[in-house]
């Protein structure tokens, strides 16, 4: 079990499950913290539905132009998990929430999301977003 834990990105946020859930499932809020400025379109928050995510070139990626991606929602479990496939079904991104005595622990199923999680924490705790 420990070996898997190291392959995840996780953070504790001083915010309620409801507030964090809203921030990870609302397109407008996702645009603020997940690759800030990149555009999310989530017409229907339900399994099997499509999301359009347009990654905008910035100092954290090597892009020279906008990169639109189609994501497919796999799971929506209110206040617990939001997961979606990136282009190919083999690449699943799952964001899980756990209530921890009034705070919320947010975990991505893979590593590499530390900057996005730091942004989410800052957004929800009323601080300046660090990774823009």
- Residues 38-78 have pLDDT tens digits of 999 999 999 999 999 999 998 778 899 999 999 999 999 99
d(CA 117, CA 115): 5
Percent composition of the chain: helix, strand, coil (DSSP 3-state, to 5): 25, 35, 40
Domain ranges of the chain: 2-123
d(CA 8, CA 19): 22
Structurally, what CATH architecture does the domain formed by 2-123 represent? 2-Layer Sandwich (3.30)
User: Residue 6: its pLDDT value, please?
Assistant: 63
User: Residue 30: its pLDDT value, please?
Assistant: 97
Place of tokens 């601080």: 127
Give the mean pLDDT of the chain.
92
pTM: 0.89
User: Residue 28: its pLDDT value, please?
Assistant: 97
């Amino acid at each position: 079990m420990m070996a898997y834990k190291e392959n995840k990105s996780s953070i504790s946020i001083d915010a309620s499950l409801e507030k964090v859930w809203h921030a990870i499932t609302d397109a407008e809020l996702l645009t603020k913290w997940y690759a800030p400025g990149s555009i999310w379109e989530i017409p229907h928050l339900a399994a099997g539905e499509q999301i359009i995510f347009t990654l905008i070139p910035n100092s954290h990626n090597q892009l020279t132009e906008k990169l639109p991606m189609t994501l497919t929602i796999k799971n929506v479990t209110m206040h617990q998990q939001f997961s979606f496939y990136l282009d190919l079904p083999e690449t699943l991104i799952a964001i899980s929430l756990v209530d921890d005595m009034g705070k919320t622990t947010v975990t991505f199923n893979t590593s590499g999301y530390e900057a996005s999680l730091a942004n989410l924490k800052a957004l929800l705790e009323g601080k300046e977003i660090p990774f823009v």
